[in-house]
Structure 1
Amino acid sequence: MFGVETEERTEAVDITDRVADEIPDDATGVCTVFVRHTTAGVVVQEAESGLLEDIESFAEGLAPSDGGYRHDRIDDNADAHLRATVLGESVSVPVEEGELAMGTWQSVLFVECDGPRTRKVDVRVTS
């Protein structure tokens, strides 16, 4: 498990190297990356800077912050919960001999929807 610090309300962060650091050298199986929060998500996508910005804009467009949501009476962050619902809280990636077995342009991205915050990401490998 490791922490991710964000500086913006909505922010996409490439965490591929940090996930890879959690994988034992001799592991083969499936790596599950799980975000322990209801207002953040994790996806597999390209980590190109323009696309990271596009992902942030897309997430913001999924649920406008001024949507008049009932949950806002409690925490004023219903938009973040709704965005995270669409993004999902986990991804599974094959692992071969201690390495993430992803495509050339694939990366593991953490997507913050209610920042800035410090979040926890859990990484587990099963064979």
Structure 2
Amino acid sequence: MTERLSVDTGERLTTVDVTDRVAAAVPDGANGVCTAFVRHTTAALVVQENESGLRGDIEGFLADLVPDEGHAHDRIDDNADSHLRATVLGPDVSVPVTDGDLELGTWQSILLVECDGPRSREVAVAVTD
């Protein structure tokens, strides 16, 4: 079973906590592994602490790591930086599931990292045993 979630973002480089929405897509009583996968090449998913300062640090880190300009792909649609930033992080996370609950640690959340917003993003959520 796969459920698709729509996530709207408001800025070019930002993070959105999708933990509750992913958890709601897990069937009651399920056991196994939940995989969340963002269906875009300029966004990513990470498991990290949902704290505003840290979220800003993630955004700043990515901006510092990859310059906004000067990439070959920019001649096509001027967003190579977004592709490169998403490449560093990756499109998916996997979290164990026990009795329908995500086995996240106390400070862990699932964050969508938007690298080319604002946009409407789609996250596919599947649970396998």
Q: C-alpha displacement at 1:3, in angstroms?
A: 0.7
Residue identity opposite 2:118 in structure 1: P
- Residue in 1 aligned with 2:119? 117
Deviations 1:33-60 (A, max 9, x none): 1000000000000001111111111121
Deviations 1:87-112 (A, max 9, x none): 10001000000000011000000000
Residue identity opposite 1:74 in structure 2: I
Q: Quick one: which of 90, 97, 100 aligns to 2:99?
A: 97
Name the count of aligned residue pairs: 126
Runs of 4+ in 1 over 3 A off after TM superposition: none
Identity %: 65
Q: C-alpha displacement at 1:116, in angstroms?
A: 0.4
What SS class does the counterpart of residue 2 from structure 1 fall into?
Answer: strand
Deviations 1:51-92 (A, max 9, x none): 1111111121221102x1010000100000000000100010
1:5 matches 2:32: no
Q: Distance in 1 between matches of 2:64 and 2:15?
A: 14
- Residue in 2 aligned with 1:43? 46
Q: Quick one: which of 58, 61, 70 aligns to 2:61?
A: 58
Q: Distance in 1 between matches of 2:19 and 2:29?
A: 18
Gaps of 5+ in 2: none
Deviations 1:12-35 (A, max 9, x none): 111000000100011000000100
Q: Quick one: which of 7, 17, 24 aligns to 2:27?
A: 24
Q: Quick one: which of 63, 81, 88 aligns to 1:86?
A: 88
Q: Distance in 2 between matches of 1:87 and 1:37?
A: 13
What TM-score do the two structures reach when normalised by structure 2?
0.96
What TM-score do the two structures reach when normalised by structure 1?
0.97
Gaps of 5+ in 1: none
